[in-house]
Structure 1
Amino acid sequence: MATTLTDTALLRLLQLTSPALPVGGYAFSQGLEMAVECGWVTDAAQTRQWLEQQLRCSLARVDVPLLLRLHRAAREGDLVQLRYFNAYLLACRESAELRRTETAMGEALCRLMPELGLALPAVGEPLGFTTAFGWVAAHWGIDEDTAAHGYLWSWLENQVAAATKLVPLGQSAAQRLLGELLPVLVAARSVGARLPEAEIGASLPALALASSWHENQYTRLFRS
């Protein structure tokens, strides 16, 4: 699908997905640190498998379809739908750590945006990062498909950066891994865009266990 961005929207997308955006995405490994500790992820091939499984079975079936619906709700100013899908999003996070990752990054984006001239809405409970990302993207004129690609890229880049420290991976191996997973990322966006609401949801038991165990891991580089 061909999409056209204005120059301003493209630059805003780069700003929203930049590692320099102070939302703390770099501080969470989302279970990867414990997966390395358990010996589940020990090299580049296993890192690829770990991330590819999440892209195909979690982000494609939870994050992307919800992000697209949240983007539409923001575009239409529909706070009822925004609250509904924000609650849906938080309910899909399978551990306290995964939920905290979502809400901590969401809170950080909510604190930042008024400084940039855009206040995010109050929805009666913590605003998830995915919700806040969709709202900001809609109000910055970033179309929903491009926003989804940017969201997936930001997630993938943060996870590969975490793997670079934890596995560890060399810088060249990390860049190869990003390139190898780009087709999976594009496919995840396509699957998520077609998913009906009744089919939104996913369960990755190993990821849920790893993120739960991470809370009690003896030494940690990443937040729990």
Structure 2
Amino acid sequence: MSITTTDAALLRLLQLSSASLPVGGYAFSQGLEYAVDAGWIKNLADTREWLSLQLMESIAHVDCPLLLRCHRALQAGDEESLHYWNHYTLACRETRELRLTDTATGSALMRLLTQLQIEPPLFEGETSFVAAFAFAAHYWQLSEQSAALGLTWSWLENQVAAATKLVPLGQTQAQQLIGEIQQLVPVALTRAQALNDNQLGAGLPALAIASARHETQYSRLFRS
């Protein structure tokens, strides 16, 4: 996937995908906290495997291709398709906590945009972070490829930050991990772009189990 962007668009992309964006993404581990507590993840290698699998089999099959569809719907002014893909995204979340991750950050991004004097679309029901991210990218005239890259980076940075606290990883190990998984991102985005509608979706049983069991974990640092 070839990505080109102007300096102004690049600055907006950095803003939108920054860990400092006040949407609360840092509060969610997406099952990682339970996986560490259960002993499934013990070190850097385990973390690399856990995140790489999510990137290639979940982010590339759900979040990114659905972001592309939301962005295209916005480009075409197709409100019906935008609502459809927003609901589709939420339906792909396998547990209550994974859905909460999506809706809590999505609602927070929508509130932020409103506070920035940007009028977002009125979604029917809850708003996924994917759809809200697509709208912000569209509003700031980012290409769909740039938007997908930004969304993937946002996920990766938050997950590595969580792993740094939980595994735990040292700061150098965390940077090593980001560098290694970055190499998979172009492949994941190319895969996402090539999927047909009937190929969307993912099933990662260990991730779903970790997320569900995290709801009753005795001691937690993260919301999910």
Compute the TM-score of the two structures, normalised by the length of structure 1: 0.98
After superposition, residues 1-224 of structure 1 pair within 5 angstroms as 1-224=1-224
Structure 1 range deviating more: 115-124 or 183-192:
115-124
Q: Which moved more, 1:96-105 or 1:182-191?
A: 182-191
What is the CA distance between 1:221 and its match in structure 2?
Answer: 0.4
Structure 1 stretches of 5 or more lacking a match?
none
Greater Cα shift, 84-93 or 6-15: 6-15
Letter in 2 for 1:164: T
User: What is the rounded CA distance, in whole Å, between the counterparts of 2:141 and 2:27 in structure 1?
Assistant: 28
Shift of 1:3: 3.0
88-97 or 114-123: which moved more? 114-123
Distance 2:3 2:20 in 1: 25
Tell me how far 1:110 sits from its aligned partner: 0.7
User: Which residue type is aligned with residue 92 of structure 1?
Assistant: C
How much is the aligned-residue C-alpha RMSD, in angstroms?
Answer: 0.9
Deviations 1:59-104 (A, max 9, x none): 1111111000001111222110011000100000000000000000
Secondary structure of 1:210's partner? helix
Q: Which moved more, 1:180-189 or 1:33-42?
A: 180-189
State the SS of the aligned residue for 1:135: helix
Q: Matched residue of 1:201: which SS?
A: coil
Cα separation, partners in 2 of 1:186 and 1:2, compared to 1, 3 Å:
closer
Write out per-residue CA displacement over residues 160-185 of structure 1, whole angstroms, 9 at most, x where no aligned residue. 00000000000000000000011211
Conserved in 2, the CA contact under 8 Å of 1:134 and 1:147?
Answer: yes
Cα offset, 1:206, TM superposition: 0.5
**Whole-Å Cα distance in 2 between the matches of residues 139 and 76 of structure 1?**
13
Kept in 2, the 8 Å contact 1:73–1:81? The answer is yes
Give the residue type in structure 2 aligned to 1:74: L
For the residue of structure 2 that corresponds to 1:190, the secondary structure is helix
4+ long deviations beyond 2 Å? 1-4
Q: Distance in 2 between matches of 1:75 and 1:209?
A: 37
Is the Cα–Cα contact under 8 Å of residues 79 and 123 in structure 1 kept in the other structure? no
Structure 2 Cα separation of the partners of residues 118 and 170 of structure 1: 39
- In structure 2, stretches of 5+ residues that fail to align are none
Whole-Å separation in 2 of the counterparts to 1:114 and 1:63: 23
Residues 13-51 of structure 1 show CA distances to partners (whole Å, capped at 9, x for unaligned) of: 011011111000000000000000110001000000000
CA–CA distance in structure 2, aligned partners of residues 210 and 202 of structure 1: 16
Identical aligned residues as a percent = 56
